[in-house]
A and B are shown apart, each in its own frame.
Chain A
Amino acid sequence: AQSVAQPEDQVNVAEGNPLTVKCTYSVSGNPYLFWYVQYPNRGLQFLLKYITGDNLVKGSYGFEAEFNKSQTSFHLKKPSALVSDSALYFCAAREAGTALIFGKGTTLSVSS
């Protein structure tokens, strides 16, 4: 069965510093991987996805993610964090014929 793990409940980073939100996945076929962000009392917003090709995926708001097949990871990164990046981040995976599976979420807190 497919699964997505986000090992950190919370990540704290100072504004201007680089940030990483970790995600590992387990799927039996080719993985399709996604990152979503949720601000308080809002729906989820799509950030980026990996389908195939280049292992470094660039997305919205300066975020990027690195796909690592050998480590089955898809970590979300940003070179310089902003206070406005503070939100709940979900990693999700899907394979053909299945529904989207979400990780438990990681709360990112960026301090000024």
Chain B
Amino acid sequence: DTEVTQTPKHLVMGMTNKKSLKCEQHMGHRAMYWYKQKAKKPPELMFVYSYEKLSINESVPSRFSPECPNSSLLNLHLHALQPEDSALYLCASSQAGQVNPYNEQFFGPGTRLTVL
């Protein structure tokens, strides 16, 4: 299985809602990532988990809360978001932890989030 899956594909939420994005991989990868991507722009790194521990938080607002329950799963909990948070949220994974810079990242199809 060489896939990263993400659910849901689309999500519309109000500014007072709480929702979660889910990501799963079964490639045995030990690094997992959350990116935010605006249209026609490069992905912006949000969080990195390496061996289930948070290793990078790119100064992301606390209304985004990541969680890594086990080596195959990654969640992103959303609360009190703003309309400017509307974007494509991409999950990715790579082998052997984040410290190995030569491992390519495998991306999921993303969740298209709209905040009203």
Residues of A within 8 A of B (CB): 32, 34, 36, 41-46, 49, 51, 88, 90, 94-100, 102-105, 107
**Cα–Cα, bound, A19→B57 (Å):** 37
Contacts across chains A and B counted by CB atoms under 8 Å: 55
Q: B76 to chain A: closest CB distance in Å? A: 15
Q: Which of A32, A90, A107 contacts B101 (CB 8 A)?
A: A32
Which chain B residues border A42 with CB–CB below 8 Å? 109-110
Q: Determine if B49 is an interface residue (Cβ-Cβ < 8 Å).
A: no
User: Which residues in B have some Cβ–Cβ distance to A below 8 Å?
Assistant: 4, 6, 40-43, 45, 48, 56, 58, 90, 92, 99, 101-102, 104-110, 112
23 residue pairs bridging A and B, Cβ less than 8 Å apart: A32-B101, A32-B102, A41-B110, A43-B6, A43-B107, A43-B110, A44-B43, A44-B90, A46-B104, A46-B106, A49-B102, A49-B104, A90-B42, A96-B99, A96-B101, A97-B101, A98-B101, A99-B45, A99-B48, A103-B42, A104-B42, A105-B40, A105-B41
